[in-house]
Amino acid sequence: MNYQEILDEIGHEFKAVQFEGKVASYIPELANVSPDKFGMHICCLKGGNYSLGNARESFSIQSISKVLSLTLAHLYEGDKIWKRVDVEPSGDPFNSLVQLEFENGIPRNPLINAGALVISDILVSHLSNPKQDYLDFVRKLAGDATVDFNLKVAASEKEWGFRNSALINLMKSFGNIQNDVEEVLDFYFHKCSIEMSCATLARTFLLFANHGQLLGRGEAVIPKSQTKRINAIMQTCGFYDEAGEFSFRVGLPGKSGVGGGIVAVHPGAYSVAVWSPKLNPKGNSSQGMAALEALTTKSGLSIF
Amino acid sequence: MNYQEILDEIGHEFKAVQFEGKVASYIPELANVSPDKFGMHICCLKGGNYSLGNARESFSIQSISKVLSLTLAHLYEGDKIWKRVDVEPSGDPFNSLVQLEFENGIPRNPLINAGALVISDILVSHLSNPKQDYLDFVRKLAGDATVDFNLKVAASEKEWGFRNSALINLMKSFGNIQNDVEEVLDFYFHKCSIEMSCATLARTFLLFANHGQLLGRGEAVIPKSQTKRINAIMQTCGFYDEAGEFSFRVGLPGKSGVGGGIVAVHPGAYSVAVWSPKLNPKGNSSQGMAALEALTTKSGLSIF
Amino acid sequence: MNYQEILDEIGHEFKAVQFEGKVASYIPELANVSPDKFGMHICCLKGGNYSLGNARESFSIQSISKVLSLTLAHLYEGDKIWKRVDVEPSGDPFNSLVQLEFENGIPRNPLINAGALVISDILVSHLSNPKQDYLDFVRKLAGDATVDFNLKVAASEKEWGFRNSALINLMKSFGNIQNDVEEVLDFYFHKCSIEMSCATLARTFLLFANHGQLLGRGEAVIPKSQTKRINAIMQTCGFYDEAGEFSFRVGLPGKSGVGGGIVAVHPGAYSVAVWSPKLNPKGNSSQGMAALEALTTKSGLSIF
Amino acid sequence: MNYQEILDEIGHEFKAVQFEGKVASYIPELANVSPDKFGMHICCLKGGNYSLGNARESFSIQSISKVLSLTLAHLYEGDKIWKRVDVEPSGDPFNSLVQLEFENGIPRNPLINAGALVISDILVSHLSNPKQDYLDFVRKLAGDATVDFNLKVAASEKEWGFRNSALINLMKSFGNIQNDVEEVLDFYFHKCSIEMSCATLARTFLLFANHGQLLGRGEAVIPKSQTKRINAIMQTCGFYDEAGEFSFRVGLPGKSGVGGGIVAVHPGAYSVAVWSPKLNPKGNSSQGMAALEALTTKSGLSIF
């Protein structure tokens, strides 16, 4: 089967399945999304693009943004960032404070909220115009100048962001936040509010399958060795306290968001994005995980 | 460079480096090993074997044995074992009781002590002669009938095994151990006492690089889909609370033991074993991790 | 009102109340006790004895025994025991392992299981015939040579004592248990199996209200300063993670057991024992706590 | 000996002792206090006042204020407050977030920071002019209209209050804070900045020794039953993770502050305040604890 046949088969099989889960409801903008949305898109390094369902409809990428901000922060600070954030799986929910307190304000990894707040702090220190500069970086990877923040989502996140406020203040008390907490939170909430379709998202992450290079655009955004490391972090830390389960079932590095999106990459082969808003109890898209498991099972290919 | 050239270069470069770390000292049999031992061995699917240093000298494989017992237990019980042990990274030391208590006696994964004790309990239930049957299985994978337990090590582990006794009694109190605790512990301590050289160890793990088949022996020991999953578990859980670091630096699934051994596999390409007894504070071989990082960096190949 | 009138009023009022709770069921010997038993007994320093209901029926004193073993151990080792066990409230259930692991095998206080196991280890080191010698000590305090172990209870505790086995092995791994774990556990389970009536129990604890002296027998068993300290430990640690609640509602130092007994003392005034087997979710007698709260409210007297 | 003789003896004996500890240094206003200050003052119900050293010099009462705000909040809401804050010892440092997260934003007790923030939130809801109204209440208890906030201390606390900000935001995320976090923090920091001398502090707490009545002023501020409960909470929760130690050594209910003050009461007898700025590693005044231990030892009187 080729990829389009696999996607079509997944689309066909999943019609008969009722996936469990609840749409994220902590802010109205996410709660209003239809739970029945389902899209999937594959970008191959060889050039092919394959789509299923609502693959061209935009959604809130939320925590998926953390991989992109990590990538940008590393371009500015290099391995110095590992003094302020670790690379270990957390084994805890995405917004837990427990480990952070035991470990003196050093987050377990850059893909949980605490770690992404430290990365945001680093970017606020380096970027002259943090929100616009970050958006320009993402647009460049996406090859799409229309990618944008959803300002209503960003404002709503801020209004209900008490736990993120707790996290950043705790880290500030340990000296691991250098800028004003309000400024960093504002940048962080905007960052999470970016909207993309599965097609754009897969395209944006294709460089992680391509050793750090923008496909067909002759440009190395990040070195090969660094691409390997970001993929490794996605593999062990991309799904909060379900990273092992995703690795076990899907066998690819990836990252999820509470908007229901998941992106994954098969280094040397393809990137893939899937979107279905119903989340399992650990905050990851139920149907999204199942779809990616079906993809690697049907294709017989994974990194393992 | 071919693999032998890479190994030789590693051997040459490491002569100038003083690796930090301490030989495991909780039992005399491990404490007496020379800290300067260093061996490495690669088995390629294409047939080549490449060695460095003390690659043919036997050492105690300790926790590396946990991957083999998981493999055998899955052959008997299939996916039923995942009701009694999870597949998530622990984020804690190998012998921590904290998570086990919070999570009602269900260990985080089969590669920490608690999980391996549950796997041992499963094997004691199924094998008519647990120690001998297990040894026969390992000898078959190794293609070497001389592989054996070190009875002095097993006896010494038992004498000092209070923490493992605490772990298994705690799980028994939650109903997650079915056999007599002494019998399971006896089997567990023997299992950990197996000795192998780097050459034998790499050979034993070659099936995990070969989709579950014994190379050149035309036999599928475990199905391809199951091999993928065991590799995924090694990737996320093989190094206690340093799994992220190993994944980040080396980019291969692997497993370490307090005897100073590490085995890793590159699916579709090769298996590799390394041995150096000096352990870092997290209980993994310092030089072993550095050697594997050098291997994937010099070869430019990893699963990411 | 005098004490008998208060007891009678409590007996009258409680007839109309249905107390919630479950009889301890982890061993058959405790599960078989009638949930409707209710007894209460006050011993005054001035000489009076006041009884209510099943005050002369024996029950398993269980953890209440921990105060007596602490008292005896201190006579042998003095303040050296505080190097091996702390005096802080645990804030955790009676048999939790979490704190014990974080705090390197030093139990929070001598009135949780872990602490009482350390105290048992100390007594095993000092007593030539631990079980008999301990029994003799308790009989002396009780002024009753018929007080005895219930051997069926002791045997049953041992058969189901996996969690205590986990606790003691964990402490042994930290070096905080000096004798053989089986021997200490055997002593510990016997100690907890002692049976007394409310009348005997109140009598046994009267010395803690009497600055350490046996009333009317002209003998100081423990010094006044030490009596103050044991009372202080009961006050802050006597009810597992409900010590604050007991202190808040009752206002006296005391100790509970899973057999449904509670003993409390008002220094300079009286000792009181109550028995009702139905336990609240935290393992303390529901009706017992209510009865003691009624006693201090009706009498208008507490240490505060 | 009478109380003055005891105080004089303590003053004499302590001259030869070098107490260990460090003056609180997280804000400059506390760091600048001389470490050698030492004052003590006893107010007897029978009317006597006894002083030692710097007993009439003002210092920052800090967390001691938490007992007074609890008292006032209970006057407004009664036992409803116990739905939002528990009465159990925390077993953790005063500003820990761990338990708060596990227990869904319900603080362990009203005398740790998190609990005092909830109490502050309650007062902000009820008082028309929180800061002034609270100050008036304290002045009334003190019988001293000159008691006041130190505005520099309050401002400095706010500037460095990231951890308190983390605590209150975490509770807000659980729905346990009803007012604006900034407004509650502002009230809280003012509350902690109140300054008193030992003499004024002992006088202010005398009602807790006097069943809730202002001595000689014929007014019951709080009911007797409620006074008992506040004393019980001080006994089990007044010294963070050293409450057991204080109870064990001193045998009185009390409360400490990082300014180096400690207040304690002997119900029916006296109140006592001590001040010495050097804190032990758990944040309580070293010399203060020793002085109170000497007091109850020399007088032979404690609640136990």
| A248·B297 Cβ contact <8 A | no
Residue C148, phi then psi, degrees to nearest 5: -150, 165
Of C108, C245, C304, the CB nearest to D91: C108
Shortest distance, CA A190 to any CA of chain D (angstroms)? 20
Mean pLDDT of chain C: 94
High-pLDDT (> 90) share of chain D, %: 87
Average pLDDT along chain A? 94
Chain C partners of D245 at a C-beta cutoff of 8 Å?
87-88
Query: What is the biggest distance separating any 2 CA atoms in chain B, rounded to whole angstroms?
Result: 55
Nearest-by-Cβ selection for B101 from C97, C162, C173: C97
Residue A134 annotated as catalytic: no
Flag whether residue A163 sits within 8 Å of chain D, measured between CB atoms: yes
Strands (E), A23-124: 39-44, 49-53, 59-60
Query: Looking at the complex, does the CB of residue C92 fall below 8 Å from at least one CB of chain B?
Result: no
Comparing CB atoms, the residue among D108, D244, D267 nearest residue C237 is D244
Question: Would you state the pLDDT for residue A219?
Answer: 84
Q: Do C244 and D302 touch (CB under 8 A)?
A: no
For C70-87, what is the mean pLDDT? Answer: 96
Better-scored residue on pLDDT, D121 or B28: D121
Within 8 A of A102 by CB-CB distance, chain D residues are 98
- Per-residue pLDDT of A50-65, as tens digits, reads 999 999 999 999 999 9
Task: Say which DSSP state A287 is in.
Answer: H
A198 contacts: CB under 8 Å, gap ≥ 6: A39, A40, A41, A51, A54, A55, A56, A261, A273, A274, A275
- What tokens were used for C42? 């006050």
**Which is more confident, A302 or A51?**
A51
Contact D297 C225 (CB under 8 A): yes
Look at residues B150, B140, B163 and name the one whose alpha carbon lies nearest to residue B71: B140
Categorize the per-residue pLDDT at D101 as very low, low, confident or very high, splitting at 50, 70 and 90.
confident
B63 an active-site residue?
yes
pLDDT of residue B93: 66
pLDDT at residue C93, as a whole number: 66
According to DSSP, the residues that pair with B194 across neighbouring strands are B149
Residue-wise pLDDT for A65-97, tens only, equals: 999 999 999 999 999 999 999 999 887 766 678
Give yes or no: B66 in active site. yes
Nearest residue on chain B to C159, alpha-carbon basis: B173
Q: Is B65 on the interface with C (CB under 8 A)?
A: no
Cβ separation B87–A245 shorter than 8 A: yes
Q: What is the pLDDT of residue A95?
A: 67
Query: In chain C, which residues have their Cβ closer than 8 Å to the Cβ of B165?
Result: 165-166, 169, 181
Rounded average pLDDT over A120-134: 98
Chain A hits for B248, CB-CB cut-off 8 Å, are 87, 229, 232-233, 236
Strand A49-53 and strand B254-256: the pairing is: unpaired
Residue of C nearest to D269 (CA): C304
d(CA D254, CA D263): 5
- CB-based contact, C170 to chain B, within 8 Å: yes
Percent of chain A whose pLDDT exceeds 90: 87
B258 belongs to the catalytic site? yes
Indicate if the pLDDT at residue C149 is higher than 70.
Answer: yes
The per-residue pLDDT for B95 is 67
At residue D90 the predicted structure's pLDDT band, cuts being 50, 70 and 90, is: confident
Task: Give tens-digit pLDDT for B90-101.
Answer: 877 666 787 888
Classify residue D70 by its DSSP letter. Answer: H
Mean pLDDT over the full length of chain D: 94
Question: What is the amino acid identity at position D87?
Answer: V
Strand, coil or helix: what is A263? strand
Q: How far is CA A42 from CA A66, A228, A286, D99, in A?
A: 21, 20, 19, 44
pLDDT in tens, C102-125: 788 999 999 999 999 999 999 999
Tokens, residue A67: 């991989």
pTM of the model: 0.92
Instruction: Test B304 with A236 for CB contact under 8 angstroms.
Output: no
Q: Which domains does chain A possess?
A: 3-62+195-299 (3.40.710.10), 65-192 (3.40.710.10)
> Which residues in chain A have their CB less than 8 angstroms from residue B87's CB?
244-245, 247-248
Give chain A positions within 8 Å (CB) of D165: 165-166, 169, 172, 181
DSSP state of A279: B
The answer to whether the beta carbons of residues D155 and D108 sit under 8 Å apart is no
CA distances for C112 relative to A121, B96, D77, angstroms = 45, 21, 35
Residue A196 pLDDT class (50, 70, 90 cuts): very high
Residue D280's contacts (CB-CB under 8 Å, 6 or more residues apart) are D20, D21, D242, D286, D289
The nearest CA of chain B is from the CA of A28 a distance in Å of 32
Contact C236/D231, CB-based, under 8 Å?
no
Contacts of D197 (CB under 8 A, 6+ apart): D39, D41, D55, D56, D57, D58, D59
> Mind telling me how many Å the CA of C93 is from chain B's nearest CA?
11
Amino acid sitting at position D125: S
Task: Decide if D228 touches C, using CB distance below 8 A.
Answer: yes
- Collapsing DSSP states into helix, strand and coil, what is residue D279? strand
Q: Residues near C38 by Cβ (< 8 Å), separated by ≥ 6?
A: C11, C14, C52, C53, C54, C275, C276, C287, C291
Across chain B, mean pLDDT equals 94
Region A34-46: mean pLDDT is 96
Token couple for C53: 């209901």
Q: What is the pLDDT of residues C3-62, one digit of tens each?
A: 999 999 999 999 999 999 999 998 889 999 999 999 999 999 998 999 999 999 999 999
ipTM: 0.91
Looking at residue D1, its pLDDT comes to 78
Disruptive mutation site among B103, B109, B248, B282 for chain A (greatest number of A CBs within 10 Å): B248
Residue A39's contacts (CB-CB under 8 Å, 6 or more residues apart) are: A51, A52, A53, A54, A55, A56, A57, A197, A198, A274, A275, A276
Rounded to 10 degrees, what is the CA torsion of D68, D72, D75, D76?
-150
A232 touches chain B (CB under 8 A): yes
D39–chain C nearest CA distance, Å = 26
Q: What is the pLDDT of residue C218?
A: 76
Q: Which of the four pLDDT bands, split at 50, 70 and 90, describes residue D94?
A: low
**C162/A299 Cα distance (integer angstroms):** 48
Q: What does the alpha-carbon distance between residue B280 and residue B245 come to, in Å, rounded to a whole number?
A: 12
